[in-house]
Structure 1
Amino acid sequence: KSDSLAEQFERSHGVDPRLLPERINVETVTAWLEGRQSPADRVLTTAALFWNEFRAGQVTQLIREVRQVVDKNSAPGIVLSTAVFPEPSSAYLENGQEYQAWAAEGLVDRLYPMAYFGDAGRVSAQLREITATIPRTSQVSLWAGLGALGKNPAQLGKEARIAGENGYDGVALFSLGHLLKKNAAPAGAEAVRAPRLSPVPKTGPIETGILASAPPGLLPPNIHALKNIACKALGGSPAENGLETKLALRLQEYDHARQHSIPTTLNQLKGGLITVPERLTLGGIFRYASPMDSPARWQEQEALCEKARSRLLAGEELATVAEEFSQDNSKTMGGLLAPRFLDLLDPQDQELAQLLPQEISRVIRVANGFWCYRLEDRSLGKQMAFAEAPWEAKRILFRRALSEMMTGEAGTGLQAWPS
């Protein structure tokens, strides 16, 4: 995170964004909106959403400036296109790509959703979601980015037909280098050229008027901004039932926390020595599953992770099993993962904390697939000043202390935390 941007956000919103959750996803945002998180986690998620909007605003401002230069200096017919991640919610939350708003504002001429991976079911779900959430009043054209890696011409042809049935204007194959290397360029091009592409449907199921582009600067937290952010974070189509009432509660508790609980918590942490959390070194096997995948695909990936776990339990080398099974960086790192601090408010970390050296965990389901871990080493935390601790440790300590602070406030009646 940029120091200058972090300082701007802290001045405006009362908390350093480096203390906020590093990643949030649609499941996190849904739990936040419905009040299923703890009071502290709701506050942290609200702040993280405002920070995410600020970062997205920097990306959008760059695109806006490029649009202005293209319009002013380019010859007629020049097309400004963007290749974007294929799931609107994660594209916005993880990459600052609010392309529904770009389309509504007319910042780009073409969008190329990169639906490169997975079977036809996943590709179809991704392409359908985008056509359902791009405002039909926009002039942007949609081109399906299809992945040629590991797919034959028949599979590519099927995906191209799916794109046509969902109103895409054309298809782009990724990547040319792969196609040329495999001498598959002519066959691949012919496969996706053959399907007849249909016109883009002119009706959409969602209200797109509120999907405004993120501003380049920081604005005070308000209900209109939070509604716009929540809609983008949930892929453009949250349920309207009681939405503004729920958002008003989230904003109310956030405003109280940034004026009271957050500064009090930070002053306590900075006022003396802290002990950084215990640190684990783990090996791991990961199998990826997209939220867009079918239940059968999730079951298949879980079964493969279970198979990898069985081989580890039988004494097979971690590096060998990881190379064959893992779909994470551990595949090429001998199965080893970067050391991590334990966050005992996290249910997964609570489970990992019980492992003994060389013990293997059960297969654990996460938002994007399945993990199986082996504990390699653990080290107790050291005492130091809060300012000297690594940011990962600071985030965990801040979350824990804020949770204790807000739980105490609720218990003494100083603040009633509505859900």
Structure 2
Amino acid sequence: MSKIQKIKGFADLFPPESDKFVFMEQTARDIFSRYGCQEVRLPLVEKTELFARSIGEETDVVQKEMYTFPDRKNRSLTLRPEATAGVVRAFIENKIHSLHPIAKLFTCGPMFRYERPQKGRMRQFHQINVEVLGTDAPQADAELMFMVWSYLKGLGLDKLSIEINSLGCRECRPVFHERLTSFLEGLDQSRLCEDCQRRASTNPLRVLDCKVPTCKELVKDAPKISDSLCPGCRDHFDTVLSILDQAGLAYEHNERLVRGLDYYQRTTFEVVSHDIGAQASVAGGGRYDGLIRQLGGPDLPGLGFACGMERLALLLDKIGSPQLDFFLAVLDQQALNKAMIIAQNLRDKGFAGEVSFEAKSVKSLLRQANKLGVKTCLLLGPEELEKDQIIVKDMATGAQKAVSQNDLEQALGLQC
């Protein structure tokens, strides 16, 4: 019978790689809680309409990348390709706005997009998202960038930089859209890549963000968004930049930085790593003030960011599994049950350890303790069982001594 293998673009994660994901999630909970963020857990599957309405019918995500399927009642469902739309849907449906004037929420977990698998990008990938709902203050934009910067630094990453731009609002964005469309119509569009030939009429902002060299060259003289900003958007953006300046957080104003999702406006940003190659962005986000209203909720502003965990994992040094404090080696079959009780008592006291499930030779069990990388090996044989003792062996120095089982917690505490 043939083996069943995983689907292309999906990964099995074992230690030490899975340890990186645990570390990223634990660091997120620590850092984000300092800013008043609360964790939410949401469905992986949503109605397809949610993403079509929020992300945009003409975006690459909706057009080419979503895992969409009918259920048994012929309802169109989609595995979530991103988290923001689901968070906003839950925010509206659960009337969170009536409980908190400003909601700071974060979530982490798998997302799904049908893309060509490559280094740091899979068809099932993982994101950490933060969403701040209910405020249009530019101070919130700056705080969001402080938060993502603190998070990435908390992971131990350096060689990072921030790129930032303003996409305008529903008042001034149409003006820029018209200027950009007119510019693109004047180009020899046959020289654009296949995606940008389609985007030129359906999602022209994305042409500015294309990484294909010929496209970048063709649009180098395209209109700048900053020249079309209304006074409100300009004041908002200037305030954000002023706060970043005062905090000493370096950034680059990138006039070509846009977002691929329709709901973004005003502030948008990316954090770029200089250690990861061509796919350099490790976090990105911005403001989406019209999204809550667009999905049937109150006309409240919002902003957020997402970090791709597979990308971040490429930058993390080896993260070791949590180290065990002890391995309890059982030398006699009659001691197996007693060993389980001793080990459980130690775990109840806060120690971490494993027990051999069968009696073996000392040499074999010490070899097993070395493989586990424990600090201390506890040996329990017939003599120790009779005397209510246990041998405590320091795996680093080889020194060992017999102690009373009643004194084991104290002896192990000294070793650890």
Q: Shared fold by TM > 0.5? A: no
Higher strand residue share: 2
Q: Which is greater in Rg?
A: 2
TM-score tier after normalising by the smaller chain length: under 0.3
TM-score by length of 1: 0.25
